[in-house]
Structure 1
Amino acid sequence: MDKPDALIPPAPQAPKRRAPEGACDAHVHLVGGRGEFPLWDGRVENPAPGPDLDGWLHMFRTQCDTLGISRGVIVHSILYGTDNSVTVEAVRRMGAGFRGVGLLPDGAPEAEMDRFVDWNMVAVRLNYVHGGVLSWEGAKAMSPALAERGLHIQMLCHADQHMGELAEDVRKLPVDVVFDHIGWPKDALTPDSAGFRTLCALLSEGKVWVKLSALYRMCAAPYTDADPLVAALIAANPERCLWGSDWPHLMLADATMPQAADLLNAFDRVVPDAQTRDRILVDNPAELFGFGPSGEA
């Protein structure tokens, strides 16, 4: 069966306030042109037709320049399955100040984790919502080997549905766990659900990190409906929050294609002060992803 095509994101607009020097977009994806990198048979869509990887990198660099971003984390897309080559190549071409998050299946040998380190990868990704190549049991089993290599687990879940069954395991893991997309609450955009409160507790304990990303998947622009959740996460522990654009917004489903500047503006609307803003955009990603001082890789 033919797959639908993803959309080309809009040309970037300037945010109300540029990001500070050394700011990091902690969640983006990069894709290639048709036939440039092998696609996974189980994917639900194709990359947007037209640009090759160089073209996508040009668009991404333009967005970074427009927003004031100089560092980033490129998260491998399930469109390519466990063939991480497009992400590895994107990280290589972006150069200093960029890291990757890749996919490994259950039971992956430690030699594959060694390759992740060589490739400038910082984490493996687990999709607890839709399933995929790595299960929660598999991630827990490989966590000691990840810890030995300074790698962590990045995880997509519905906090309001799943956090109760995950929390105690998370507390016992020897590695950091980073939750995508403000914990992606599914049933209601409220910080009052038991699962979201558990996520805030884990954050306050310093056991997890959370990406303040993908608000457009949960509500419409200007994303004010998500303000209470973002504010609750920042209040729980601003030293464990990260910001990401989720560009180029793959697998939109019923969401509306966002403008990245609006997503940065939404973050700025909620962040309480300039020091906290710099902490989330610059210092936290530098600590987690191993960047040097501002202005260095």
Structure 2
Amino acid sequence: MSLPRAALPIVEPTAPKAPLPEGACDAHVHMMGDDFPLWDGRVEDPAPGLLEDWAQRLERHLARLGLARVVIVHSIVYGGDNAVTLAAVRRLGGRARGIGLVTDGATEAELDALAEAGVRGVRLNYVHGGILSWAGVQAMAPRLAARGMHVQMLMNAHRHMADLADAVRGMPVPVVFDHIGWPNLGAGPSEPGFDQLRGLVADGAALVKLSGLYRLCDAPYDAAAEHVASLATANPDGCLWGSDWPHIMLADAKQPDAGILLNAFLDVVTRDADRRTILTQVPERLYGF
């Protein structure tokens, strides 16, 4: 059965409305490459191109937006084979780090190899499921901590936060939530699950990526501004920014312009010190740049 094929990202995104701080990081992108095997359980095929084609596209994306560093989050399109992400981190050198995907049964050797290759965390999808479970990553957490790694999680704050919050506070590694907790925007930032997320961030018990707004509302993303502001003001030291480039598995979302996504962040986070914290200092600390 043929699968839908993702579209290529916008070649020339809108330029940011203000210069970014030195060392600014896009903390959430994915890497593709037709020269790597795809996972049988995927829901779409990536847009065409070899790894080198995609690496050059990513470099243009970073240069256009004024970003010096990048975190490549392994895509479920490739399942538990992290080869494409590891190859991309090698190709980009010291300006890149990775987030890998492992199973509950990941071995010491597998975790060692990822850590040595520049992978700084493992990702869990609590929304759609996948090959790593919450119970599995909780059991794995001490081994991640020993390697300076952390947990990255996609969840819905309004559906899942009440069940996760206490355990997250007890984790021996940082827990980073994707896409502002993928909340129900219509319920507002006072919704109990989102309020719990904000509390975790405020207390330094979790971090959150101010990313994925295009999956929640249409450009210019004003509908998410209040949520972004509530997290950024709760604790800039608990926030990162990411473009989610090249915007795969869109479902009902519209193909975004990464520059407009960045400008939506700059519209909300207006203090230079907070921009420097979120774009440069937090990534330096979490990913070891």
Aligned partners of 1:179 and 1:118: how far apart in 2?
Answer: 24
Superposed, 1:115-264 pairs within 5 Å as: 115-186=113-184, 188=186, 190-264=188-262
Q: Deviations over 1:164-194 (max 9, x none)?
A: 0000110111010000000001463521110
Say which SS state the counterpart of residue 218 (structure 2) adopts: coil
CA contact (8 A) 1:160 1:187 kept: no
Q: Deviations over 1:105-129 (max 9, x none)?
A: 0121121110111110000000000
Shift of 1:154: 0.3
Residue number in structure 2 paired with 1:19: 20
CA contact (8 A) 1:189 1:226 kept: no
Instruction: Give the unaligned 5+ runs of structure 1.
Output: 292-297
Say which SS state the counterpart of residue 72 (structure 1) adopts: strand
Q: Deviations over 1:70-95 (max 9, x none)?
A: 10100000000000000000010011
Residue number in structure 2 paired with 1:295: none
Residue number in structure 1 paired with 2:8: 8
Aligned partners of 2:198 and 2:268: how far apart in 1?
Answer: 16
TM-score of the two chains, using structure 1 as the length reference: 0.95
CA contact (8 A) 2:185 2:216 kept: no
Aligned partners of 1:165 and 1:255: how far apart in 2?
Answer: 28
Q: Which amino acid aligns with 1:6?
A: A
Alignment RMSD:
0.9
Shift of 1:205: 1.1
Q: Which amino acid aligns with 1:16?
A: K
Q: Which amino acid aligns with 1:54?
A: E
Q: Which amino acid aligns with 2:6?
A: A
Q: Deviations over 1:121-161 (max 9, x none)?
A: 00000000000000000000000100011000000000111
Aligned partners of 1:103 and 1:18: how far apart in 2?
Answer: 33
Shift of 1:17: 1.7
Residue number in structure 1 paired with 2:108: 110
Q: Deviations over 1:239-269 (max 9, x none)?
A: 1100000000000000000001001100000
Count the aligned residue pairs: 288
Shift of 1:216: 0.3
Residue number in structure 1 paired with 2:45: 46
Residue number in structure 2 paired with 1:37: 36
Q: Which amino acid aligns with 2:128?
A: H
Shift of 1:272: 3.5
Instruction: Give the unaligned 5+ runs of structure 2.
Output: none
CA contact (8 A) 2:127 2:154 kept: yes
